[in-house]
Amino acid sequence: MGSRFARGAALAVVLAGVCGGAGLAKDKKDNSPAVIAARDFDKNPYPSTYRAYPGVPTALIGATVFDGEGNRIERGTLLLIDGKVSAVGGPDLPVPDGYTRIDATGKFVTPGIIDIHSHLGVYPSPAIEANSDGNEATAPTTPEVWAEHSVWPQDPGFSRAMANGGITTLEILPGSANLMGGRSVVLKNVYSRTVQGMKFPGAPYGLKMACGENPKRVYGSKGRMPSTRMGNFAVDRATWIKAREYRAKRDAGKLETRDLAMETLAGVLDGSILVQNHCYRADEMAQVLDMAREFGYHVSAFHHAVEAYKIGDLLKASDTCAAIWSDWWGFKMEAYDGIPENAGLLYKAGACVVIHSDDENGIQRLNQEAAKAQGDARRIGIDIPDAVVIKWLTLNGAKAIGVDKLTGSLVAGKMGDVVLWNGNPLSVYSRPEKVWVDGALMFDSANRKHRAVSDFELGQPGEGDVK
């Protein structure tokens, strides 16, 4: 279990980078107790308690490896030890003694799949009112709420996401009722008694924002602002103005009281909290990019972004990913111009593509969504290699949620988050055979008991069934 120690040490460094340094101003003009309390609070009060489960040194031998960075290795060998990827290579890579050798000939290996838009846990199954905790739809901006305080770690959806979708990392977002919906949380897809036990060590927080129809409908229907798209922007801008003032005061050591909402927004302005912006229409995305420049923050990804293909050039220039479905379309007005070639056209424009789910069923088939997008691109003459398409499900998502140094590709030193597929993952006929998280085997289709069954399902019809 040396891996736990190593992980812990690495973790401390990462967390310091993420949570510290949020402008503890040197020039302390006021050291009254109130000011100190507002300034020197615990930046990580619900820390991750996740620890990698024990693994054994493992060699996957003979598979086609898509490494998540866009490379394809035929008859590849992947070595996992101490929770990490230790080497990836071709058939000539030597396998040291002491490794459990798995013959993966004819099979495929990818990094663990990452879904950066999930509501598992906050809108869990069963989908009943008592469990519906994803939208604090009582005010148009609620950056003070944290998704992790809503996540129900017994959501049966987590197990399906792993068994059928190979999901090892996921970002749980608040819903899109609000312009600023709250903080996201990045999870390892490993059941725990506590949410803290699932939190991805070292992942930065995200801020869920939303533009378009949802906020204006939700609040307009309550007779309050915003009721229009211009209202959306006005409320956003007024809030960012406050956040800038708050941050300036903080940096000057003049805060006298804590403000949870402003702490989140100041984190965005510091660059330590990543903006995940629900937005469908191209014209609105372009305006949001201007708003981000106006206030000095960066949009990490637009989510849904069904019209992203219209502004691939703008997204590329702003280094903003488009986290999209392959072909959802038409269910609401702002999705009317969705086309199945969205990913292909974005790829052609050089923009960052991420395939996301926003759905407890879709998360089980992100690989198929990517394959659909690949096929639709091919039919208009845009040929995208399989290995590059896999990047849409792995490294690109990792980048958009700020964990790309830790996971998302099969590179020595990264987390041992790996899926062994029984066929090409870009085929409808393929399924995960085994899934490792931090080098620990967490799903094995060949072993009836080696699958997670949430508390909720014990004693229920179909407990432990294949799902």
Partner 1 sequence: MKRAHLISAAPLALLVAAPAFAQSVAITHAKLVIGDGNGPIDNGTVLIQSGKVVAAGASVAVPAGVRTIDAGGKWVTPGLVVAVTDLGLVDVGAVEESNDSDADKSPFSAALDVSAAINPDDLPIQVSRAGGVTRAAVAPIGTNSIFGGQGAIIDLGADPDAVTVPRAFQYVELGETGARRAGGSRAATYAVLFNALAEAKELTLAPAGPRRDDVLLTRRDAAALIPVVSGKQPLYVHVERASDIRMVLGLKREFPLLQLVIVGAAEGWMVAAELAKSGVPVLATPLTDLPNSFEQLGSTQSNVGRMKAAGVKVSLGDFGDQPRYAPQYAGNLVGLAKVPRASGLTWGQAFAAISSGPAEALGMGERFGSLRPGRAGDVVIWDGDPLEVSSGVTRVFIDGIEQPLSNHQTRLRDRYGSPGEGDLPKAYEW
Out of 133, 358, 360, 404, the residue judged to bind partner 1 by CB under 8 A? 360
**Binding of residue 37 to partner 1 (CB under 8 A):** no
* 38/167 with CB nearer partner 1: 167
Taking each helix axis from N to C terminus, what angle separates 260-270 and 229-251, rounded to the nearest 10 degrees? 90
Which of the stretches 41-49, 137-145, 187-195, 361-369 binds partner 1 when contact is defined by CB under 8 A?
Answer: 361-369
* Rounded Cα–Cα distance for residues 121 and 405 (Å): 26
**Binding of residue 364 to partner 1 (CB under 8 A):** yes
CB of 195 to partner 1, least distance (A): 20
* 200/280 with CB nearer partner 1: 280
* 193/379 with CB nearer partner 1: 379
Out of 127, 238, 260, 458, the residue judged to bind partner 1 by CB under 8 A? 127
Q: Are 281 and 304 in contact (CB under 8 A)?
A: no
* Rounded Cα–Cα distance for residues 360 and 355 (Å): 14
Cis geometry, peptide bond prior to residue 126 (ω within 30 degrees of 0): yes
Out of 27, 45, 223, 466, the residue judged to bind partner 1 by CB under 8 A? 466
Nearest Cα to 251, choosing from 17, 18, 29?
29
Compose the 322-351 pattern: x for residues touching partner 1 by CB under 8 A, - for all others: -------xxxxx-xxxxxxx---x--xx--
* 271/330 with CB nearer partner 1: 330
Residue 14 structure tokens? 């990462």
- In the block, tokens 């703008």 appear at 314
* Rounded Cα–Cα distance for residues 333 and 229 (Å): 14
Residue 288 structure tokens? 């949001």
Compose the 207-246 pattern: x for residues touching partner 1 by CB under 8 A, - for all others: ------x---------------------------------
Distance (Å) of CA 266 to CA 183, 201, 278: 12, 22, 20
Which of the stretches 122-130, 133-141, 197-205, 283-291 binds partner 1 when contact is defined by CB under 8 A?
Answer: 122-130
Nearest Cα to 277, choosing from 188, 184, 355, 363?
184
Compose the 152-181 pattern: x for residues touching partner 1 by CB under 8 A, - for all others: ----xx--x---x-----------------
Distance (Å) of CA 287 to CA 237, 275, 301, 361, 388: 12, 15, 14, 32, 30
**Binding of residue 72 to partner 1 (CB under 8 A):** no
As a three-state string, the secondary structure of 212-264 is CHHHHHHHHCCCCCCCCHHHHHHHHHHHHHHHHHHHHHHHCCCCCCCCHHHHH
Residues 6+ apart with CB under 8 A from 97: none
* 255/345 with CB nearer partner 1: 345
* 33/429 with CB nearer partner 1: 429
* Rounded Cα–Cα distance for residues 203 and 199 (Å): 8
CB of 157 to partner 1, least distance (A): 6
CB of 449 to partner 1, least distance (A): 12
* Rounded Cα–Cα distance for residues 95 and 302 (Å): 42
Q: Order of strands across the sheet with 321-324?
A: 180-183, 206-210, 274-279, 299-304, 321-324, 353-355
Amino acid occupying residue 11: L
* 12/428 with CB nearer partner 1: 428
* 164/394 with CB nearer partner 1: 164
CB of 393 to partner 1, least distance (A): 14
- In the region spanning residues 395 to 434, those forming contacts with partner 1, defined by CB under 8 A, are 422-423, 426-431
> Residues in contact with partner 1, total (CB under 8 A)?
63
* 2/381 with CB nearer partner 1: 381
CB of 132 to partner 1, least distance (A): 13
309-330 burial: b if 16+ Cβ within 10 Å, else e: bbbbebbeebebbbbbbbbbee
Which residues of this chain interact with partner 1, rule CB under 8 A? 125-128, 156-157, 160, 164, 213, 309-314, 329-333, 335-341, 345, 348-349, 360-361, 364-365, 368, 371-372, 374-376, 378-381, 422-423, 426-431, 445-446, 448, 456-457, 460-462, 465-467
